[in-house]
C-alpha cells in the first residue's frame, strides 16, 4: 500500500469523532470491567454461595470468561455488517446491547431468591455483554483511524483505547466509593446493584453523542468504488458474481495478519486482566490487603494508564508501531516477578507501584494496537479483520486469564506460577510482532489488498469477450 495520502477531515470534526468513540468505549468497558470487579468481590457469595470461597471465586470468574467466549461471535457479526453497512450504525447497536445487559444485571435476583436460575441469568447477560463488546472495539478504533490523517494516526487512534482504563477507572471508582461508605453487609445486600443500574444513564449520554458523528469517509469512498465496479461489470454485460463475505476475504488475503494480531494480543490481554482483575483476588487472599486498598491501587494506576496511552500512540507515529509494541511486551514480561514481590509486602505504596508500572508497560502495547491492526487490513474487510484478530485472541488470552491465575494460586499458593504464565504470553507476543511488517506509512484509503487489486478491477472473462 502507498504511503498515507488520506485527506484529514475538517479540524473541528476529528475531536468530536474522537470524543464519540472515547465516550462510547468508556461506557462499554465500564460495563465489562464492572462485572469483572464484582466477580472478584461479591458474585461468588451472591450467585455461588454453596461453594468454598476460592471455588466460588473460580466459578464467578468462569461466568466472567463466558463474556469473552461471545466476543468472537460479536466480531464476526458486527464485522460483517460493519464492512457492508458502515461503522456508525453498528457502534450504536453495540452500545445499546451492552448498556441494556449491564442494567439488567443490576436487577437480577440472587441465588438466595431464585436458586440456580440466578447464575443462569447472570451468564446469559454476560454473553450479551461479550457479544456487544466483540463488535464495539473494531468499529470504534476504525471510525477514528479512518477519519484522521496518516501522520498522527497512532495518536488519534489511541484515544478510543483510553476507553479501557477510563472504564476501569469509572468502574473501580464507583465500587471503591460504595465500599468506603457502605458496610460489607449493605454492599453485599443491595449496594453492588448501584453501579450496574448507573449504566442506563451513561448509555443515554453515549448514545446521544455517538449519533451526532458522521460515517467514516474512507468507508464511504470504498463503498462508492465497489458500487462503481459493479456498475461497470453490469454495463459490460458480464454476469455479476456474488460479493464475497468479508470473513472469506479476510481469511484469503489477510490470514497472516490475523495470526499476527492474535499473537500480539496474548501478552497485552493476559497481562491486563492479571494486573487489574486477578490482583483483587491475590492481594486480598494472599497478601492480606483489604478490598478497599486493592481497589484504590487499581484506581490510581488506571488514571496513570489513561494518561500514558496517547503518549505511547504519539511515539508510535515517530518510531513505528512495532518498536513501541515490542517494548511493552518485553517490559511486561520482565516486570512480573517484581510485580508479585511488591504486592507480597502488603504496603499500599508498593501495591500502587506494582500496578502502575504494569499498566504503563501494558499501555505501550495497547496504544499502538488500534492503528497497527487498522493498517493491516483493506477497507472493505477492515472491520472484520481487525475485530476477528483482536477478539478471537481474547478467547485464549483474556477470557481464561483470571481463571488460570486463580487456579494456579489455589494449587501453588504463590504468585510465581502466575508470573511465568504472563512471561510465556509475552514471549508469544514478541515472536508475533517481531515477524510482522511495519505499517505506520500505509494508506487506509486503499480499498483492496495489494495482491487482489488487479483481480478486483479487472473485468470478467465473459465481459472481455462480450
CA distances from 216 to 6, 17, 371 (A): 12, 10, 15
Report residue 106 as a C-alpha cell. Answer: 443490576
Provide the β-strand partners of residue 442. Answer: 3
- What pLDDT does 465 receive? 35
Q: Does residue 4 contact residue 153 with C-beta atoms inside 8 Å?
A: yes
Q: Which residue has the cell 508501531?
A: 321
| Bridge partner list, 3 | 442
The span from the CA of 77 to the CA of 235, in Å, is 32
Cβ atoms 370, 160 nearer than 8 A: yes
> According to the model, what pLDDT value does residue 307 have?
95
Q: Nine-digit cell at 29?
A: 468497558
How many C-alpha atoms does 367 have within 13 Å on its Cβ side? 33
Task: Give alpha helix (H) positions in 320-381.
Answer: 321-344, 348-376
pLDDT for 148 equals 67
pLDDT score of 226: 62
| Beta-carbon-side half-sphere exposure of residue 35 (alpha carbons within 13 Å) | 33
Residue 463: per-residue pLDDT: 36
**Contacts of residue 183, Cβ cutoff 8 Å, sequence gap at least 6:** none
DSSP string, 408-459: HHHHHSSSHHHHHHHHHHHHHHHHHHHTSPP-TTB-TT--S-GGGHHHHHSP
Do the beta carbons of residue 370 and residue 139 sit within 8 Å?
A: no
Residue pair 17/157 in contact by the 8 Å Cβ criterion? no
The pTM for the full model equals: 0.80
* All residues at 6 or more sequence positions from 415 whose CB lies less than 8 Å from its CB, including other chains: 282, 286, 339, 340, 343, 344, 409
pLDDT at position 240 is 52
What separation, in Å, do the N-terminal and C-terminal C-alpha atoms of the chain show? Answer: 33
CB burial class (10 A; 0-12, 13-18, 19+) of residue 31?
Answer: buried
* Spatial distance between the Cα atoms of 290 and 184, rounded to a whole number of angstroms: 12
- Quick one: pLDDT at residue 235? 64
CB 80 within 8 A of CB 135: no
Cell of 87: 461503522
Three-state secondary-structure class, residue 239: coil
Number of Cβ within a 10 Å radius of residue 326: 19
pLDDT in tens, the chain (466 residues): 444 444 444 444 778 788 888 887 888 788 877 877 787 678 878 887 766 566 666 676 677 677 778 888 888 888 888 888 877 888 888 888 988 998 999 999 988 888 888 888 888 898 898 898 888 888 888 888 887 677 889 999 999 999 888 988 888 788 888 888 988 889 888 998 999 999 888 888 888 877 877 776 777 776 676 666 666 656 665 555 555 666 777 878 788 999 999 999 999 999 998 998 888 889 988 888 887 888 889 889 989 999 999 999 999 999 999 999 999 999 999 999 999 999 999 899 999 999 999 999 999 999 999 999 989 888 778 888 888 888 888 888 887 888 899 899 989 989 999 999 999 999 999 999 999 999 988 887 754 544 433 333 333 333 333 3
**Measured between alpha carbons, how far is 121 from 115 in angstroms, rounded to an integer?**
11
Amino acid at each position: 500500500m502507498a504511503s498515507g495520502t488520506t485527506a484529514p477531515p475538517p479540524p473541528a470534526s476529528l475531536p468530536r469523532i474522537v470524543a464519540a468513540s472515547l465516550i462510547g468505549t468508556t461506557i462499554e468497558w465500564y460495563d465489562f470491567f464492572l462485572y469483572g470487579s464484582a466477580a472478584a468481590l461479591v458474585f461468588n457469595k451472591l450467585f455461588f454461595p454453596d461453594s468454598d470461597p476460592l471455588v466460588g471465586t473460580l466459578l464467578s470468574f468462569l461466568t466472567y470468561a463466558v463474556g469473552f467466549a461471545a466476543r468472537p461471535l460479536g466480531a464476526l457479526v458486527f464485522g460483517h455488517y460493519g464492512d457492508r453497512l458502515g461503522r456508525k450504525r453498528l457502534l450504536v447497536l453495540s452500545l445499546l446491547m451492552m448498556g441494556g445487559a449491564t442494567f439488567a444485571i443490576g436487577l437480577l435476583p440472587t441465588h438466595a431468591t431464585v436458586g440456580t436460575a440466578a447464575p443462569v441469568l447472570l451468564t446469559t447477560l454476560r454473553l450479551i455483554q461479550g457479544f456487544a463488546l466483540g463488535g464495539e472495539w473494531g468499529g470504534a478504533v476504525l471510525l477514528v483511524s479512518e477519519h484522521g490523517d496518516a501522520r498522527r494516526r497512532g495518536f488519534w487512534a489511541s484515544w478510543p483505547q483510553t476507553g479501557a482504563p477510563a472504564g476501569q477507572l469509572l468502574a473501580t471508582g464507583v465500587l471503591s466509593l460504595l465500599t468506603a461508605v457502605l458496610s460489607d453487609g449493605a454492599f453485599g445486600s443491595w449496594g453492588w446493584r448501584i453501579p450496574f443500574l448507573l449504566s442506563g444513564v451513561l448509555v443515554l449520554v453515549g448514545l446521544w453523542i455517538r449519533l451526532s458523528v458522521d460515517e467514516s469517509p474512507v468507508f464511504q469512498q470504498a463503498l462508492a468504488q465497489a458500487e462503481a465496479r459493479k456498475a461497470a461489470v453490469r454495463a459490460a454485460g458480464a454476469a455479476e458474481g456474488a460479493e464475497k463475505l468479508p470473513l472469506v476475504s479476510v481469511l484469503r488475503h489477510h490470514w497472516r495478519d490475523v495470526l499476527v494480531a492474535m499473537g500480539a494480543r496474548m501478552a497485552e490481554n493476559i497481562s491486563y486482566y492479571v494486573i487489574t482483575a486477578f490482583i483483587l483476588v491475590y492481594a486480598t487472599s494472599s497478601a492480606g490487603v483489604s478490598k478497599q486498598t486493592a481497589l484504590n491501587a487499581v484506581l490510581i494506576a488506571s488514571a496513570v494508564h489513561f494518561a500514558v496511552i496517547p503518549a505511547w500512540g504519539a511515539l508510535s507515529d515517530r518510531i513505528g508501531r512495532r518498536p513501541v509494541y515490542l517494548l511493552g511486551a518485553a517490559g511486561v514480561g520482565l516486570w512480573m516477578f517484581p510485580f508479585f514481590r511488591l504486592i507480597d509486602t502488603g504496603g499500599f505504596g508498593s501495591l500502587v507501584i506494582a500496578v502502575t508500572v504494569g499498566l504503563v508497560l501494558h499501555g505501550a502495547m495497547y496504544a499502538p494496537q488500534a492503528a497497527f491492526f487498522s493498517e493491516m487490513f483493506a477497507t472493505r474487510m477492515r472491520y472484520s479483520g481487525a475485530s476477528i484478530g483482536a477478539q478471537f485472541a481474547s478467547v485464549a488470552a483474556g477470557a481464561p486469564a483470571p481463571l488460570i491465575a486463580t487456579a494456579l494460586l489455589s494449587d501453588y499458593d504463590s504468585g510465581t506460577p502466575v508470573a511465568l504464565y504472563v512471561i510465556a504470553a509475552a514471549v508469544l507476543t514478541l515472536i508475533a510482532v517481531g515477524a510482522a511488517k511495519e505499517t505506520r506509512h500505509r494508506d487506509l484509503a486503499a480499498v483492496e489488498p495489494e495482491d487482489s487489486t488487479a483481480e478486483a478491477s479487472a473485468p470478467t472473462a465473459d465481459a472481455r469477450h462480450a
